[in-house]
Amino acid sequence: MRCWLESGVEDDGTRKVFVAVRRNLDRLANDVELLVLVCRRLREGGRLAGRGRLPRGFGRRSPSGG
């Protein structure tokens, strides 16, 4: 889709995507609306930036099982 937006060139794959979008437009619109609401809530709470990663090996069990 990004290539189509940038170039305007359609091929068989692009047309298949358009057909799938048309068939599922209501569902896609609802999903996008939900994602936007979730992103807004996360941004308001300062949680959209993501989480830091744990150090490598942190939380792994020892080979002896303990």
Q: Kindly state whether residue 37 falls inside one of the protein's structural domains.
A: yes
Q: How many domains does the chain have?
A: 1
Predicted structure pTM score: 0.53
Residue 66 pLDDT > 60, yes or no? Answer: no
Rounded to the nearest 5°, which phi and psi values hold at 46? 70, 25
Q: Kindly state whether residue 4 falls inside one of the protein's structural domains.
A: no
The answer to whether the CB of 18 falls within 8 A of the CB of 27 is no
Q: Kindly state whether residue 32 falls inside one of the protein's structural domains.
A: yes
Q: Kindly state whether residue 63 falls inside one of the protein's structural domains.
A: no
Domain ranges, residue 28: 22-47
Mean pLDDT to the nearest integer, 50-64 = 69
Q: Kindly state whether residue 10 falls inside one of the protein's structural domains.
A: no
Q: Give me the pLDDT at residue 50, please.
A: 64
Residue 6 pLDDT > 90, yes or no? Answer: yes
**Is residue 2 classed exposed, middle or buried when 0-12, 13-18 and 19+ CB atoms within 10 A define those classes?**
exposed
Q: Kindly state whether residue 61 falls inside one of the protein's structural domains.
A: no
The one-letter amino acid at 29: A
Q: Kindly state whether residue 12 falls inside one of the protein's structural domains.
A: no
Comparing 65 with 48, the larger pLDDT belongs to 48
